[in-house]
């Protein structure tokens, strides 16, 4: 386990995170999503001058980050970001001994997605076609 020196910029650890993901056999798209989430969090926390490294990142920083996501993006996107940052926090804890501020945090609630339902009018038309009252019978020419 290495320690992160004070003044170590948070963004510098993202390359090491990617190496961990590659070694674990994660897909390129997953790695990109996870790196982007970690980079975005690094940018968000870098605005706080008191944050000089990941050891300074608090649960409040994480909550502020997710609150900013909630105003701009879907709950499903925020949930994906949460999953990525859970992995990043675990990597920081494993590799650098930094307390994981994501530990125990619950992901954003994702409401069920409503599936469009065919209208009664369209269903009647579909049934009429399949019953032979149209120019085809269930897709088979007469």
- Residues whose CB is less than 8 angstroms from the CB of residue 24 and which lie 6 or more positions away in sequence, other chains included: none
Is the pLDDT at 139 greater than 50, yes or no? yes
Q: How many residues does the chain have?
A: 142
* Mean pLDDT across the chain: 83
What pLDDT does 4 receive?
46
Span 70-82, average pLDDT: 91
**pLDDT digit string (tens) for 106-123?**
988 888 888 888 888 988
Transcribe 52-80 into DSSP letters.
-SGGG--HHHHHHHHHHHHHHS-HHHHHH
Q: Domain 10-111 is of which CATH architecture?
A: Orthogonal Bundle (1.10)
Question: Residue ranges of the domains in the chain?
Answer: 10-111, 112-142
């Amino acid at each position: 386990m290495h320690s992160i020196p004070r003044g170590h910029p948070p963004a510098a650890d993202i390359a090491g995170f990617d190496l961990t993901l590659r070694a674990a056999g994660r897909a390129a798209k997953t790695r990109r999503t996870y790196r982007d989430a970690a980079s975005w969090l690094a940018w968000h926390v870098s605005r706080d001058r008191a944050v000089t490294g990941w050891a300074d990142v608090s649960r409040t920083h994480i909550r502020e980050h997710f609150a900013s996501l909630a105003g701009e993006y879907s709950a499903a996107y925020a949930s994906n970001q949460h999953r990525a940052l859970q992995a990043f926090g675990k990597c920081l804890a494993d590799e650098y001994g930094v307390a994981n501020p994501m530990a125990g945090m619950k992901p954003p609630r994702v409401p069920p997605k409503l599936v469009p339902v065919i209208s009664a009018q369209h269903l009647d038309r579909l049934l009429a076609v399949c019953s032979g009252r149209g120019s085809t019978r269930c897709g088979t020419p007469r």
